[in-house]
Amino acid sequence: MANFYTDNDDIQFLFRHINMANLSAICEENFKFAAQFDYAPADEDEAIKNYEMTLDSVGQLSGDFIAPRAESVDRQGNKLNADGSVTYAQGIAEAMDKLAKADVMGFTLPHRFGGLNFPNLVYSMAIEIVSRADASLMNIFGLQGIAETINAFACEEIKQKYLHDFCAGKVTGAMVLTEPDAGSDLQAIKLRSFKDQNGNWFLHGVKRFITNGCGEVLLVLARSEPDRSGGLGLSLFVCDRGPTIHIRRLEDKLGIHGSPTCEIFFDNTPCQLIGERQRGLITYVMSLMNGARIGIAGQSMGIAEAAFRIARDYAASRKQFGLAIEKLPAVRDMLIDMKISIEAGRALLYETSRVVDIFLGCERKLEFNPPQDKEKFKQIKNEARKYDRYASMLTPMSKYYCSEMCNTVAYNAIQVLGGSGYMRDYACERHARDARITTIYEGTSQLQVVAAVRGVCSGTAEKFITELAQQGYDPQLKDLLETLEQGMELLKSSISFAKAHGNEYMDLYGRALVDIAIDLINGHLFCSQASTKVDMKVQAADDSRGNNTISIKERKAMVARRFITKNAMKIAALAKLIQTGDKSTFADYPALVGPVPVE
């Protein structure tokens, strides 16, 4: 029986390596809910046991049930019916039913609605596991952020109306943002929201590229202030699927065929306001999108893991020139880089999720249980601000790094398989098609870089990396830490140079600046893993002596050394590039790019 949690040594290791006890205490607010709810944990051990039991359950469901149906889901797709309803692919409908019965559709929602109240970190692990089985299913399972947004910002009446059903898996949702002329630029949204004479709200207009737009509960960003352009004219609304909502078409897509992408027409649809008017984009949707971006990072991890495993298996069994192709240096090097880049993405994503959990814990404490002592209150508020800055930087970093890595791994998996990888006989081609969207939706890689580089150049990255550097590391890693320190100096000089040349120059070299910062962060995270106290053995390929196990600490030290050493040269090259002062992109664009093609 396949289990996508128990067969993944790295996820199991990180579950033990990261301070899960601290996160459980934060989420359970020092376990105060146990007195009110029978299923709420009474202490750290019980909470951690619940997390792992749930991951085990999701892992088995993903391996045994979801993954075997993924190919048929991809080929079958979804159907738009004559009455405007949408029928999911059979495998998607069956998987959603299984997930609901497993009680995992309210992962991070409070106990009072029937939710699990788990940390975002555990949810990220579950998203990765499900995405490895079927990336398109994650686009429905992973939309629990809609319920989180309702929980965070809606009134109690709206919460009671929707959140119990979300937790029970009776409804699914959609974040309805994009329009034909408003993709990345959500400030250009035109869909109209208006009140009638009785004070009831309605929606009218078109939305496009809406993931799971056929869901029962829709969060809609609309223009509530007709006399105000830009983001301050927008508010967020919730509405139920009904006769005034028309799915006009399903998009014919390259990948994620099991996830319906809809064009929707709202014909004076009744709705309710979420929170306050004019805060729809600036407050509510930004929070919603940050959660979605972490979800896409998790989806990317799952796709990459699935693609790598096919390549790894094929390289060991496929023989050319009388030997397995994994014996060829070029193939061997490619597989190592694929494996380490996956572990780097996972380290960054899980660290981001951990930081988000700490930030949300501080926010809840300030809102619902603020300390009376002024100094204690001030301390928590400062912690909230710090972790908010960290989360605002790490979230786009994770989405950017994991999605780009996912595409590279999926592409290289096809390369390892050669002609066979190009055929539909293997799932590599499906993983490559599914991977392609991850760098596009919920904000392209370019937009993630723009968001992340502000944190890099404002000093947030330096503070975060300095905190990482002050952890207690194994003395045997001293030379690697010195290499990372040299990289930090290169980053600081590059930031100073870019800022001296203005914001436009900083954006031009934003990707290089963000890449350096990510490599330094991941370098420290790998050193932390290599200094672990977790006593765990992991499988390794048989060596010449027949050994096939190695301690996780020893293996992670090897990973840290290869990652940091190889990236030191990359960091030096990027720093040199940033500090060339080359502005030909601005000065020579017309000549270099040439005229617009005329047919």
CATH architecture of 173-281: Beta Barrel (2.40)
Distance of CA 195 to the CA centre of its chain: 36
- Mean of the pLDDT values across residues 584-596? 95
Average per-residue pLDDT in the chain?
95
Quote the pLDDT of residue 182.
Answer: 83
Where do the domains of the chain lie? 9-168+282-438, 173-281, 456-541+548-584
Nearest to 410 by CA among 329, 315, 316, 342: 342
Residue 542 pLDDT grade (very low, low, confident, very high; cuts 50, 70, 90): low
pLDDT for 421: 96
- Give the model's confidence band at 338: pLDDT under 50 very low, under 70 low, under 90 confident, else very high: very high
Q: Are 204 and 192 in contact (CB under 8 A)?
A: yes
pLDDT digits (tens, 9 = 90+) for 244-295: 999 999 999 999 999 999 999 999 999 999 999 999 998 999 899 899 999 9
pLDDT tens-digit series, residues 388-426: 999 999 999 999 999 999 999 999 999 999 999 999 999
Q: Which residues contact 502 (CB under 8 A, 6 or more apart)?
A: none
Distance set, CA 62 to CA 8, 35, 353 (Å): 13, 33, 22
Give me 395's structure tokens. 């979230």
Residue 201 DSSP class: E
φ, ψ for residue 173 (rounded to 5)? -130, 180
Query: In the chain, pLDDT over 90 holds for what percent of residues?
Result: 92
Interacting residues of 301 by C-beta distance below 8 A, sequence separation 6+: 128, 131, 132, 342, 345, 346, 349, 402, 406
State which fold the 456-541+548-584 domain adopts. Answer: Four Helix Bundle (Hemerythrin (Met), subunit A) (1.20.120)
Can you tell me whether residue 535 is helix, strand or coil? coil
Task: Give residue 17's identity as a one-letter amino acid code.
Answer: H
Nearest Cα residue to 521 out of 457, 466, 596, 473: 466
DSSP-derived secondary structure for 239-307 = EE--TTEEEEEE---SS-TTS-EEEEEEEEEEEEEESSTT-IIIIIIHHHHHHHHHHHHHHHHHHHHHH
For the segment 462-483, the average pLDDT, to the nearest whole number, is: 96
**pLDDT band for position 540 (cuts 50, 70, 90):** confident
Residue-wise pLDDT for 503-539, tens only, equals 999 999 999 999 999 999 999 999 999 999 999 999 8
**Statement: the pTM of the whole predicted model exceeds 0.85:** yes
CB 16 within 8 A of CB 535: no
pLDDT of residue 41: 97
Length of the chain: 599
Residue 62: DSSP 8-state: I
Nearest Cα residue to 469 out of 395, 391, 527: 527
DSSP, res 540: -
pLDDT band at 1 (very low <50, low <70, confident <90, very high): confident
What does the pLDDT average to over 478-498?
Answer: 98
Mean pLDDT (whole number) for 43-63: 98
Q: What are phi and psi of 220, to 5 degrees?
A: -120, 125
**Domain at 9-168+282-438: CATH code:** 1.20.140.10
> Going by C-beta distance under 8 Å and a sequence separation of 6 or more, which residues neighbour residue 431?
135, 303, 306, 307, 310, 410, 413
Percent of the chain with pLDDT over 70: 99
8 Å CB contact between 178 and 187: no
